[in-house]
Amino acid sequence: MMIINGLVISGSLERLLDKDYSHPPPDPEEFSRLVKPILPENTHDLIKDFKFYPKDLIESETMGLYQWLGDDSEIMCLGKEDKFQMPGNLDPSKAILIGDFGWGSDMGITLDYRKNIVSPRILIDVWGANPRTDNRWVTLTETVDEFLQKIGYIPDSS
């Protein structure tokens, strides 16, 4: 069992991260189909650069979220609550950053434990036209296994 930020990463994702799996998804076309409708068109060229973080970077990036609370860059990094692009924001105490779209992209993928402390949903950071006011964290999938199935890491159970 992997514990980061007081939260547990288990199951398929834990097994994947135990291998320090830091290369692109096995099915990049499916990954692209999953994230393209959510991301702004000007970021589509970054999709090919998605990688999971190694375990040590997961911990440091996750703990780094706290520095943005109350900061001028809070919305840029943690988003803003939004009923149309749910949830819109991150709660650093209920999140684990697990990957991004390459060096300097500042577009992350995170586990969000607010709805379910045992089975987190997957959120993606969507940059708006004005990052200081428009960035949102949007639900990509409702479960980790759904995410991993859709991008080819584990077989589809259906």
Segment 85-133, tens digit of pLDDT: 889 899 999 999 999 887 767 788 999 999 999 999 999 988 877 777 8
Establish if 70 belongs to a structural domain. Answer: yes
Establish if 156 belongs to a structural domain. Answer: no
Establish if 155 belongs to a structural domain. Answer: no
- Beta bridge partners of residue 136, listed in sequence order: 126
**Closest Cα partner for 10 from 128, 96, 70, 108?**
96
Establish if 13 belongs to a structural domain. Answer: yes
Global model pTM greater than 0.85: yes
Establish if 63 belongs to a structural domain. Answer: yes
DSSP letter for each residue of the chain? -EEETTEEE-HHHHHHHHTT--S--S-HHHHHHHHTTTS-GGGGGGGGG-EEPPHHHHHHHHHGGGGGTTSTTHHHHHB---SSSSEEB--GGGEEEEEESSTT---EEEEE-SS-SSS-EEEEEE--SSHHHH-EEEEEESSHHHHHHHTTSS----
Establish if 158 belongs to a structural domain. Answer: no
Q: What pLDDT, on a 0 to 100 scale, did the predictor assign at position 22?
A: 65
Nearest-5° angle of CA 137, CA 141, CA 145?
135
Establish if 157 belongs to a structural domain. Answer: no
**Closest Cα partner for 10 from 114, 155, 111?**
111
Domain count, the chain: 1
Q: What pLDDT, on a 0 to 100 scale, did the predictor assign at position 21?
A: 60
For residue 103, count other CB atoms closer than 10 A to its CB.
8
Segment 30-72, tens digit of pLDDT: 888 888 888 878 788 888 888 888 888 899 999 999 888 888 8
Establish if 144 belongs to a structural domain. Answer: yes
Q: Measuring CA to CA, how many Å separate 13 from each of 30, 73, 85, 139, 145?
A: 18, 30, 25, 17, 8
Domain span including residue 141: 2-150
